[in-house]
Chains A and B, each alone.
Chain A
Amino acid sequence: MTRLLRAETLQLTTTRAYWLLAAGTTALIAGATAATATATSFTPGTSPARSVLAIAGLAQTVALLAGVLSVTGEFRHKTITPAALITPRRTPLLAAKLITLATAGLVFGLATTAIATAITLPLLAARHIPADLTSSGAAAVIAGGAIATALSAAIGIGVGAIIRNQAAAIIAVLALLYVAEPLLGFIPHLGTAIQQYGLGGLSAATTHTIGFPASAHLLAQPAAALVLVGYATIALLTGAVLLKRRDITT
């Protein structure tokens, strides 16, 4: 396993795409939080700081896609063949990816949410808008961001092992996040469940920020994190079984 972790870490650090993705996302989050904290007027009754920090949730979407890319990239570029030749047991191969990407996601989520918080609070203070976020509240947002990002990467690994076609897997993830969940969220009754148990709602709840719509009743932070753990476990176990069973024909 040590060998595989070294190989995965090397793979992650020597692929430009991941660095570009991380740098671009960090810049986007920093820019968007700065703009929002500077210019937006806030809905009464919601915490201005939590509203702005919801933007940092983009890190989770990117981590989810990075997880998908790391598995589907092996099939797209056929590097799964030499990898599976050196490590014929495929479950450890997936486990090494999980540990590496989840750790990277944890660091990435921590960094982006911390940066967003560091930008948001002074800007709100400068406009004399009460941020409505205590320092322990801010810590919970940042910790939640780290955990949610790590779990998103884990879900992405599972999804990638289930849907090995890269384009199909990415489209499926984006369609779920940006089309299915927002639309289904408006259906009476079912909508409430989607707002709570959809990835968007769980992300907002785990980071203790504001969901979509802002009036959504979110789960408590620990409960939401646990549901995400459940999703990741289901995706990873299904992915591991399929990876083991399916032929690698490329």
Chain B
Amino acid sequence: MTATTSGRDGGPVARHGAAAARRPPATAGPAIQVTGLRKKFGRVMAVEDVSFTVCYGRITGFLGPNGAGKTTTLRMMVGLIRPDAGTAVIAGKPYPKLADPARAAGALLDAAAHPGRTGRDHLRVLAAAAGLPGHQADQLLDLVGLAHAARQRAGRYSLGMRQRLALAAALLGDPDVLILDEPANGLDPQGIRWLRDLLRTLAAGGRAVLISSHLLAEAAQTVDDIVVISRGRTVAQAPLGDLLATRPGATLEDIYLELTVTPQGAPS
């Protein structure tokens, strides 16, 4: 176990700390490559045609209105939902085929925890399943600012605390790729600033970070690249700077609203 993690020791705190060293990506090529994903639930077309690329060392914002298909796309990327068509590969392979998925990619999709179990035990269960030592749980609780509530039952956590716990779970295997669905949900302004700094540090260390959001002002401050989807289709993918340069004087919000505008009379 330890032999395969050479160069990554020192525990999550040391690794994610201010002095986190840059490291080369585990594989050449993009961190995430999504090609033509499509999913219908019954008669509802949730995702029609979504394609984009996420690079190592950068934070990619995945933007779109409610119901645009963001969450379905993210869940298809990690094998929770089976796509009707298209592929998603992470570090060159479909997520379920990765040799050690928890080390290759971490995802925050549900701020979920059993209400009767403590935050610490929640992480210890997941760490055991990933073959990681239990003390990782304590280090991660420290990292996400939950050390004080480690032995409180998760049922008493606020949404922000559950979100931090879920982020700790995503970081368990110290993955090269992070996929975060609305990670700022429930966080207060201090929490949002903290999250932004953490994600910046992780990306600066060579990791790929994909975050879905509809907080545009926040995204504009955090992300390097932008992917916009609307009604199940990719409508834009570009570095943030390039996107802003297409319309001098316009904000990300202006451009986003234009890209995701719904036709007259169509339900949004």
Contact = CB atoms under 8 A, between A and B. Distances in A.
29 contacts: A3-B128, A3-B130, A6-B129, A10-B128, A14-B117, A14-B118, A14-B121, A14-B124, A15-B117, A77-B112, A78-B110, A82-B112, A82-B126, A83-B126, A83-B129, A85-B78, A85-B80, A85-B106, A85-B107, A86-B101, A86-B173, A87-B129, A88-B78, A88-B79, A88-B101, A247-B81, A247-B82, A249-B41, A249-B81
Contacts of B82: 245, 247
B52 interface: no
A7 interface: yes
Nearest to B107: A85
Interface residues of B, number: 37
Interface of B: 41, 72, 75, 78-82, 95-96, 98, 101-102, 106-107, 109-110, 112-118, 121-122, 124-126, 128-131, 166, 169, 172-173
Contact of A79 (B79, B81, B107, B113): B113
A6 B128 contact: yes
Given A14-B121, A82-B166, A86-B126, A248 B75 contact: yes
Interface string A139-163: 0000000000000000000000000
Contact of A14 (B72, B107, B125, B129): B125
A144 B125 CA distance: 32
Contacts of B130: 3, 86
Interface in A1-22: 3-4, 6-7, 10-11, 14-17
B95 A88 contact: yes
A128 interface: no
A81 interface: yes
Contact of B116 (A3, A4, A16, A87): A16
Nearest to A84: B80
Nearest to B46: A249
Contacts of B122: 79
B112 A79 contact: yes
Contacts of A15: 114, 116-117
Contacts, number: 89
B121 A86 contact: no
Nearest to A83: B129
A89 interface: yes
A84 B81 CA distance: 11
A3 to B, nearest CB: 5
Given A4-B129, A86-B126, A88-B79, A79 B96 contact: no
B172 to A, nearest CB: 8
B140 to A, nearest CB: 13
Interface string A76-116: 01110111111111000000000000000000000000000
Contacts of A245: 82
Nearest to A9: B128
A8 B230 CA distance: 40
A87 B98 CA distance: 10
A74 to B, nearest CB: 9
Nearest to A14: B121
A248 B72 CA distance: 10
B118 A3 contact: no
A191 interface: no
Given A10-B125, A79-B122, A247-B81, 6 more contacts: A3-B129, A7-B125, A14-B121, A82-B110, A88-B98, A249-B80
Nearest to B101: A88
Nearest to B106: A85
A171 to B, nearest CB: 21
